[in-house]
Chain A
Amino acid sequence: MTTSKISFRNATKVFGAPDSGVTALKNLNLDIRDGEIVTVVGPSGCGKSTAMNMVAGLLDVTSGEVLVDGKPVLGPGPDRGVIFQQYALFPWLTVRQNVEFGLKLQGMDRAKRKERALHYLGLVGLASFSEAYPKTLSGGMKQRCAIARAYAVNPSVLLMDEPFGALDALTRVKLQDQLLDTWSKDKRTVMFITHDVDEAVYIAHRVIVLAARPGRLQEIVEVDLPFPRNDDVRLSPEFTEIRNRVWRAVYHRDAQAA
């Protein structure tokens, strides 16, 4: 277990009073390897965000443990970058100032900060928008800016909660490729939540399927497809087969429960 980057050990989260509250997640056991991309899928309310927020340090566990690098998570930290569905860019800062936010908190000097911010903005294709305010960006550009902001502080773990959920299909596919491309150059551990089964399979080493009420582990699907992922992979029969397995795990189970 020394190679696991993130570990859930009987992680349980109950919102409200311990006996009468909502059990968002029950006894989750899961290990995510260093440099691995795992995607998390499951019906709405099954505890995906809850699991991720516990790794981020934004929520504490009710019982059990969540470990990052073998140490229990005590709170948020710049070693774990988070990308939110609602972008969460600060609208009063320019694109570059947003990316510099975390660097400034680390005490990096002005010139170095700027250089670093521009580097990551270039990586996501936003260099020419560095002085623009977020209100002038499209949804996809906002999300790329949020990705640059998370990358810039150099976290070893990237936590992404339905980051492309609000985007159109075309932009989404482009950002998936971009994410994989960036990952291949610099292998971070990625925990990626999505509602989109195709997306889940396309970018992942493993797909974690959760079940609802109470939120718990349903199935882990190994994605045995080669990297780099591209259109050939996406259109291959192997992809379709894995995709169908994940689909059944998510929806069939739900149909039985209903």
Chain B
Amino acid sequence: MTVTNDVNVTTAPRRRWSPNNFTWAALSFAGGIGLWWLATVGGLSELPSPWAVLTRMIELALDGQLWEDTFASLRRVMIGFVLGSVIAVPTGFLMGWYRVARAVIDPWVQFFRVIPPLAIIPLAIVTMGIDETPKIFVIFLAAFLSAVVSTYQGVVSVDKTYINAARVLGANDRVIFTQVIIPASTPFILVGFRIGLGSAWATVVAAELIAAQSGLGFRMQQAQLYYDLPTIFVSLVAIGILGLIMDRIVVWAEEWLTHWQERV
């Protein structure tokens, strides 16, 4: 038996956030805050100083309002996002697997995709009332649309040779679906989740600006009425941080679930 020998080359796993990157990001943030501070100290703008914002943030955190608002916004996002994704994935698979399902569903998806979710709000409020339902519904729609499109894309772009390779090893349609289509399209689905979560978060804040009695968007809108700039800043910072954390969580999940993927 002729056995070719290979050198076992182990390459270090490529990390997106090497310590070096992290240092740069921290430095960049610190620099930005420094510039902001300089601008307010010099009286160049009417912006509140970083300290005023930090003080207000601590106040709001201590009296619990910040947590209540955060919880209200997060709850809407999570319910809408989970519902939207859970329904989108099987729908996307259906569209990718059955031609008829694709022909029936795709026009609707394409149509609603070009309407900004916020434009649905007036209709949702009129038909569903002013409580949580219309807000959750638009978030659901935002999350659903991005996940359904990416799942469907994932299924139709599965390399035909994987399917053929499975078939010649004796796989039937069920096996091909569960053991080839699903794993092969997972990276696409996770990208859809990431985009969906981003647009769900953007949508919830905007929806709260228009019609809500709680949430970070609502708080900002209230603060605007009283010209309360520090509170507006606190809300903005909270929205940014929470959005970033949610995005990181999805990215981690993605790297963990698709560690087998070749990354460029």
Contacts and interface: CB of A to CB of B under 8 A. Distances in A.
Given A80-B168, A93-B260, A178-B4, 10 more contacts: A75-B167, A76-B164, A91-B262, A92-B258, A102-B169, A135-B261, A140-B4, A141-B6, A144-B4, A181-B2
B170 A91 contact: no
Contact of A91 (B164, B166, B179, B260): B260
Interface in B140-175: 159, 161-162, 164-171, 175
A70 interface: no
Contacts of A149: 169
A105 interface: yes
Contact of B3 (A58, A92, A125): A125
B92 to A, nearest CB: 19
A75 B186 CA distance: 28
B168 A91 contact: no
Interface in A117-164: 123-125, 128, 133-136, 138, 140-141, 144, 149, 153
Contacts, number: 91
Contact of B168 (A56, A93, A106, A178): A56
B184 interface: yes
Contacts of B5: 125
A177 B2 CA distance: 7
Interface string A75-112: 11110111010101111110000000110011000000
Contact of B4 (A86, A105, A125, A128): A125
Contacts of A93: 260
Given A91-B261, A92-B260, A82 B1 contact: no
Contact of A105 (B6, B164, B175, B259): B175
A178 B3 contact: yes
A63 interface: no
Contact of A178 (B2, B6, B166): B2
B197 interface: no
A153 B170 contact: yes
Contact of A102 (B3, B170, B180): B170
Nearest to A103: B169
Contacts of B168: 56-58, 76-78, 80-82
Interface of B: 1-6, 8, 10-11, 159, 161-162, 164-171, 175, 179-180, 183-184, 186, 258-262
A84 B8 contact: no
Contacts of B3: 124-125, 178
B165 A88 contact: yes
Interface residues of B, dominant DSSP: loop
Contact of A86 (B161, B167, B179, B186): B161
Contact of A101 (B161, B164, B166, B184): B166
Interface of A: 56-58, 75-78, 80-82, 84, 86, 88-93, 101-102, 105-106, 123-125, 128, 133-136, 138, 140-141, 144, 149, 153, 171, 174-175, 177-178, 181-182
Contact of A88 (B4, B10, B164, B175): B164
Contact of B184 (A92, A106, A174, A182): A92
Contacts of A86: 161
27 contacts: A76-B170, A78-B170, A82-B168, A84-B164, A84-B165, A88-B162, A90-B165, A91-B260, A92-B186, A92-B258, A101-B169, A101-B179, A105-B170, A105-B171, A106-B170, A123-B1, A124-B3, A128-B8, A134-B260, A138-B6, A140-B6, A153-B169, A171-B4, A174-B4, A177-B2, A178-B2, A182-B1
B166, B167, B168, B179 pick with most chain A CB within 10 angstroms: B168
Nearest to B167: A76
A43 B18 CA distance: 50
A88 B186 CA distance: 18
A58 B164 CA distance: 7
A92 B258 CA distance: 8
B6 A82 contact: no
A178 B1 contact: yes
A135 B4 contact: no
Contacts of B262: 91, 135
B170 A77 contact: yes
A84 B161 contact: yes
A165 to B, nearest CB: 14
Contacts of B258: 92
Given A105-B175, A128-B8, A138-B6, A90 B162 contact: yes
Contacts of A141: 6
A135 B260 contact: yes
